Every structure is written in C-alpha cells, then in structure tokens.
Amino acid sequence: MSEKPVIFTTLGDAGGIGPELVARSLLHEDATAGVIRLIVGPLKVFEAGCDVANVAPDIPFFDDADSALASRSASAFIDYNPSGIENPVLGQSTAAAGKSDFDVARLGVTLFNDGKIDGFVFAPVNKLSLRMGGSGFEGYKAYIADALSVTGSSAEINTIGHLWTTRVSSHVSIAEVPGHVTKDSVLEVIRYFDRELRRFGHRNPKIAVSGLNPHNGDGGMFGREEIEHIAPAVDEAQKYQLNVAGPFPPDTIFLTVQQENYLGVVSMYHDQCQIATKLLGFDKGVTYFGGLPFPITTPAHGTAYDIAGKGVASETPMVNALKLMRRAALTAKGVPL
C-alpha cells in the first residue's frame, strides 16, 4: 500500500455526464491534495469527456495500476477496457456502458483485496445500463458488499456539507416501507449513522429521527410505527449515550433540524429525506456508503442523460465527492486535515 491514501475513481456511465465531470474535476487539485488519484476506465470514453469539458488533461496514462502507482504521480489515468467499448452513445442506457462500468467496479474490488487502494469514488452510474450489461446487482454498493461478504448495515448516507441524512429503507416500493420499519432496523441505522459521522471527526453528532406517518400517527390513529418501533428505538439509542432525539413529524423535521442545529437526520424511506436534501443543495450533494471495508462516495445526482455531452453539467458534486473521500482517507491514515 502506498504511504499516501490511494483513491480509485471511475468515469461513470459512458452515456451520461460522468466522463465530462471527471475531466473537469481535474481542474480542482485541492480536492485530492495529499492523496493519489487513479482514474480508471476506457481511454476513448475519457477523451470524449475531456472534449466535452474542453479540458486538456495534464496527467500520465498507464495500462495497469502497478505502473501508475510506481510512477508516484498525484493523479494518473489507467486505460481499462476489457469489454472493448468504443464510441459511447450519449443520452441513453446501453448494455455496452453498463458492462464497461461493471468491469471497472470489479477491478476496484480486486485492487482493494490486493491492498492497493483505500477508497472508491464513482461518477454517476445508471442502474438500467448495469442491468442491461449483465449485472445482477442494484448498483455498485450492492455488488461491492456482496463481493466482500459484508452483511452488516451499509445504508446510503447523503450530505450537503452542513447536513447529513440516511434512511431505514431505501430503494423499495412505498407499499413495502412499513415492513422495514422495526425497532431493530431503526436502532441499527441510528447506531450505524452515529458511527459513520464520527468517522468524519464529529465527536458527538446530534441526530434527529423522523416518524413515518402523518403527524407521527396522531397517537396511533394514522399508524402505530412511531409508538411500537421508532420511539422505542430512539429510547434504546439514548441508553447507549447517543445524541439522538425523535421521532419528529416527517413534514416538519427539516425545519426542526435547521432551527436546533442537528447534524443528521434518520428518515424512514427514500423520498422522505431525499426531496428535502435535494431542495437544500442539489448542486452540492454527495452520497456516501459506509459500513464497508473501504469508504465509497459519489455525486448525489444521476447520469443526467438529458444534458450529457452539452458541457453544461456542474462538476461541484463530483468535486465534493472527492473532497469527502480525501477527508475519510486521510483521517483513516491519521493525517491531520
């Protein structure tokens, strides 16, 4: 392993805005100061992204990770294209893009197992492309967790810098949500969230927990999840000396969070937190996956097929994903920020 943390970064879906964002992120050297950045993917896809972004990359190119790491370059590109993708089709999901993207994910896991990388930043992927390309997993995180035999909680966490959110259930139908809201599941996510926030230097993170039903169920008239599961989970977490409170009514929790300076919010389902978070900072948001042997970050937005290739996409979330990874990787190495 290198003395400096090594961050493995991808180009994302070849048909989306990922390649151009990665190219433009090279203009922000502060985002990876003190770490080594390996950008991995098909060279032609990267070159296409550079053309769209109007960026001339001033980094060396290699055919394998060993050569790139031996060069001691602060940033390097590894041309990795086992699927042979040539000219990416912009603006739509394709099997070619999905297969290429999944190939890169597999390489990242191999390099981690070989002790060569410390963190993983991926540009936006497309779940349909991945499925069309042969992946049987929902996305990168699910594949990596399976490949590394991770069975504990690794829920998605989103941050816009001053606010962090996570949820008890994620990519499931609304009809399935109540079945996921149990005392054990809520408590597990609270403890996981507290642990991951501490990983970023927050010593006693203040966490608010949302209810599930309108008006927190109004004493059980509109649902009993708050009474039977969520409140008992919060009480149990407090016994562990965690700085957590709730449940708060879902429609006002983000007002409470702003007024009372909470750092984090645990929601019960995807849109309960994602709508608020994206309103507060869609052009800044980062998704972080904890609970894995190495940290993973990605921009909170998707592949944005509608603007791919137009050169108008903001690189800010990609840069923020790199900065968050830098913070995690340096902190893990005991390097002062």
pLDDT tens-digit map of 43-81: 999 999 999 999 999 999 999 999 999 999 999 999 999
Check whether 1 has a pLDDT greater than 60.
Answer: no
**Residue 107: how many CB atoms within 10 A of its CB?**
20
Residues of the chain with pLDDT > 90: what percent? Answer: 79
Q: Domain segments of the chain: what residues?
A: 6-150+292-332, 156-278
Q: Do domains 6-150+292-332 and 156-278 have the same CATH topology?
A: yes
Residues of the chain with pLDDT > 70: what percent? Answer: 99
- Options 3.40.718.10, 1.10.150.120, 3.30.470.20, 3.40.50.300; CATH for 156-278 is 3.40.718.10
Question: Across residues 193-214, what is the average pLDDT?
Answer: 93
**Residue 322: how many CB atoms within 10 A of its CB?**
26
Q: Where are the beta strands (DSSP E) in the chain?
A: 6-10, 36-41, 61-62, 75-79, 119-121, 156-159, 164-167, 207-210, 244-248, 264-267, 286-289, 296-299
Cα dihedral angle (64, 300, 145, 7), rounded to 10 degrees? Answer: 30
Closest C-alpha to 328, from 304, 293, 303, 299: 293
For 242-297, what is each residue's pLDDT tens digit?
A: 999 999 999 999 999 999 999 999 999 999 999 988 888 777 889 998 888 888 99
Amino acid at 198: R
- Residue 155: pLDDT band (50, 70, 90) is confident
Q: In this predicted structure, what is the pLDDT of residue 12? A: 96
Question: Across residues 185-189, what is the average pLDDT?
Answer: 96
Cα dihedral angle (68, 73, 74, 77), rounded to 10 degrees? Answer: -40
Token match 């972004």: residue? 53
For 79-125, what is each residue's pLDDT tens digit?
A: 999 999 988 899 999 999 999 999 999 999 999 999 999 999 999 99
Check whether 153 has a pLDDT greater than 80.
Answer: no
Total length of the chain: 337
Is 7 in contact with 325 (CB distance < 8 Å)?
yes
- Residue 142: pLDDT band (50, 70, 90) is confident
Q: In this predicted structure, what is the pLDDT of residue 35? A: 96
Q: How far apart are CA 178 and CA 131, in angstroms?
A: 27
What CATH number is given for 6-150+292-332 in this structure?
Answer: 3.40.718.10
Say which residue, 180 or 294, is predicted with more confidence. 180
Q: How far apart are CA 227 and CA 243, in angstroms?
A: 20
Rounded to 5 degrees, φ, ψ at 322 are: -65, -40
For 80-89, what is each residue's pLDDT tens digit?
A: 999 999 888 9
Q: In this predicted structure, what is the pLDDT of residue 138? A: 75
Whole-number average pLDDT of the chain: 93
Q: How far apart are CA 124 and CA 191, in angstroms?
A: 28
The whole-angstrom distance between residue 204's C-alpha and the CA centroid of its chain comes to 23
Closest C-alpha to 76, from 117, 47, 40: 40
Say which residue, 271 or 138, is predicted with more confidence. 271
Strand, coil or helix: 73: coil
Rounded to 5 degrees, φ, ψ at 77 are: -110, 135
